[in-house]
Amino acid sequence: MSKRIDAIDLNVYYGKFRAVADVDITIEPKSVTAFIGPSGCGKTTFLRTLNRMHEVLPGAHVEGKLLLDGDDIYAPGVDPVAVRSNVGMVFQRPNPFPTMTIRENVLAGLKLNGQRISKGDADAVVEKSLRGANLWQEVKDRLEKPGSGLSGGQQQRLCIARTIAVEPEVILMDEPCSALDPISTLAVEDLISELKEQYTVVIVTHNMQQAARVSDKTAFFNIAGTGKPGKLIEYAETSQIFNNPQEKSTEDYVSGRFG
C-alpha cells in the first residue's frame, strides 16, 4: 500500500534546459516528506518526475533512475499510465472535472481502463474516499451536484478523495493549500497527517510552518542563479532542517534571510 522512492542521480530537462540536476534522495514509505525552496528551484519539476507527469510536456525528459520499491519507473517498457495509477497527484489549483458530479469525480479514476464496478461497490468507494478526505459530512447530500459548485477548499479535498479512491502507493501534492483559506488549509493538513498512515506522501510547500507541522523529513532545493539547474541542497529530519541546518543557505532560507 505504501512504497519507498529512491531517486538516483536524477536530471530533469525541458528540451535542452536542465531544470533539476543530480538529485539523490530516498523517501520512506508511510511518511510525509516536504519539498521547500525558492521559486523556480525545480520543486514542481522534480515532483512531476515521480509519477512521470513531467514527460507529458513536449520536449521534457528525464535522465537517471527513479526506483519505486526497487523498480525503476523509467526503465524501458514501463507504461507511464501504470505508474500514474500507482502514484497519485494533487495539483496546486483544485481541478475537479467540471462536467462531472461529485460522485463521478470520486469514481473517475476507478472507471479507467474499462473497469466495471457494481453500484454498491461504487457507493462504498465514494463514501470511504470522501470520508478519507474529510469531505463526506459536507457533501453527502449533494453527491449528484457538479464538483465545480464546491468551495475551493472543498474542491481540493474532492481532488484528494479522487486520488485516494484509486488506492495509490504514493500521493504527490504540489502546494495543495496555496489557493485555500486558513480553515481549509488546516483541514487539508489534518488530512495529510492521516494519509501518511497508509501512503507515502510528498508535499511541495512555500509555507515553512506547514512544512514544520506536517512533514517528517524536509528537502531543501535551491538554485544558483537564473538559467542554472535547481539542486537538492539538504535533506534531513524536519526538526533538524528547521532547528539545526547543516548548510548556510538552508539556514538563511528557513529563517527568512534569503536572497
Ligand X SMILES: Nc1ncnc2c1ncn2[C@@H]1O[C@H](COP(=O)(O)OP(=O)(O)OP(=O)(O)O)[C@@H](O)[C@H]1O
- Shortest distance in whole angstroms from residue 70 CB to ligand X: 27
**CA gyration radius, the chain:** 18
The dihedral through the CA atoms of 43, 216, 201, 78 has a sign that is: positive
184 binds Mg ion (CB under 5 A): no
42 binds ligand X (CB under 6 A): yes
Pick the binder of ligand X from 2, 45, 105, 156 (CB under 6 A). Answer: 45
224 binds ligand X (CB under 6 A): no
**Closest alpha carbon to 156 in 141, 137, 134, 140:** 134
Binding segment for ligand X among 37-45, 122-130, 160-168, 179-187 (CB under 6 A)? 37-45
The dihedral through the CA atoms of 68, 74, 75, 78 has a sign that is: positive
Q: Which is nearer to ligand X, 13 or 105 (CB)?
A: 13
Whole-angstrom CA distances from 183 to 176, 186, 220 are 13, 5, 27
Query: Grid cell 451536484 — which residue?
Result: 145
CA distance 84 to 86: 5
39 binds ligand X (CB under 6 A): yes
Rounded to the nearest angstrom, the gap between the alpha carbon of residue 120 and the centroid of all alpha carbons in its chain is: 30
- Shortest distance in whole angstroms from residue 121 CB to ligand X: 38
14 binds ligand X (CB under 6 A): yes
45 binds Mg ion (CB under 5 A): no
* One-letter amino acid for residue 204 of the chain: V
Pick the binder of Mg ion from 2, 44, 156, 163 (CB under 5 A). Answer: 44
- Shortest distance in whole angstroms from residue 150 CB to other proteins: 12
Rounded to the nearest angstrom, the gap between the alpha carbon of residue 34 and the centroid of all alpha carbons in its chain is: 10
57 binds ligand X (CB under 6 A): yes
Q: Which is nearer to ligand X, 42 or 94 (CB)?
A: 42
DSSP element (H, E) containing 8: strand 5-14
Whether 67 contacts 11, CB under 8 Å:
no
User: Quick one: what does residue 166 bind among ligand X, other proteins, Mg ion, none, with the CB cut-off 5 to 8 Å set by partner type?
Assistant: other proteins
Enter the C-alpha cell of residue 239. Answer: 526538526
Q: Which is nearer to other proteins, 64 or 88 (CB)?
A: 88
Whether 36 contacts 42, CB under 8 Å:
no
Q: Which is nearer to other proteins, 162 or 196 (CB)?
A: 162
What residues line the site for other proteins (CB under 8 A)? 51, 53, 56, 58, 81-82, 84-86, 88-89, 91, 93, 95-100, 108-109, 112-113, 146, 148, 159, 162-163, 166
Using CB under 6 A, list all residues that contact ligand X.
Answer: 14, 17, 19, 37, 39-45, 57, 230
